[in-house]
């Protein structure tokens, strides 16, 4: 274990980790389509990447229409839309690929330096 003085990069990392936590789906739901995905396997990967954090969630569940799911709904349930908005709000990138017979992959790139002046 190493020790170092907290600096701006540590604060940025802490903010990034909070965004990553908010971007991931609830633990009780399936990663791609809530409890309706019928997935028997799901994996979550969070790793440090150049300048930020890379979050990847995959499952082997049923595919779904990504455009439909990412459209704002009147019922105000945010799901994937809320995940995308949180990631993009901090200057990150968000993608969802859902393929019949292959499941769903959700990826988010969240920068360490979000909210910092240029």
The domain that contains 27 carries what CATH number? Answer: 3.30.565.10
Decide if 36 is inside a domain: yes
Flag whether pLDDT at 102 surpasses 70.
yes
Flag whether pLDDT at 82 surpasses 90.
no
Query: Quick one: pLDDT at residue 72?
Result: 73
Decide if 23 is inside a domain: yes
Among 28-32, 92-96, 98-102, the range scoring the smallest mean pLDDT is 28-32
Decide if 61 is inside a domain: yes
Distance CA 98, CA 82 (A): 17
Q: How confident is the model at residue 20 (pLDDT cuts 50, 70, 90)?
A: low
The full 3-state SS of 43-102, as one line of letters, equals EEEEEEECCEEEEEEEECCCCCCHHHHCCCCCCCCCHHHHHHHHHHHCCCEEEEEEECCC
Decide if 73 is inside a domain: yes
Domain count, the chain: 1
Q: How confident is the model at residue 27 (pLDDT cuts 50, 70, 90)?
A: very low
Flag whether pLDDT at 54 surpasses 90.
yes
Decide if 59 is inside a domain: yes
Decide if 67 is inside a domain: yes
- Is the whole model's pTM more than 0.75, yes or no? no
Report how far apart, in Å, the C-alpha atoms of 110 and of each of 40, 54, 64, 71 are. Answer: 28, 6, 25, 22
Decide if 38 is inside a domain: yes
């Amino acid at each position: 274990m190493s020790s170092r003085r907290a600096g701006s990069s540590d604060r940025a990392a802490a903010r990034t980790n909070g965004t990553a936590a908010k971007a991931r789906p609830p633990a009780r739901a399936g990663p791609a389509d809530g409890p309706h995905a019928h997935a028997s396997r799901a994996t979550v990967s969070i790793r440090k990447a150049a300048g930020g954090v890379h979050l990847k969630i995959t499952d082997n569940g049923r595919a779904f229409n990504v455009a439909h799911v990412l459209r704002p709904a009147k019922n105000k349930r945010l799901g994937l839309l809320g995940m995308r908005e949180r990631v993009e709000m901090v200057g990150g990138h968000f993608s969802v690929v859902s393929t019949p017979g292959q499941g769903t992959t959700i990826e988010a790139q969240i920068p360490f330096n979000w909210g910092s002046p240029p």
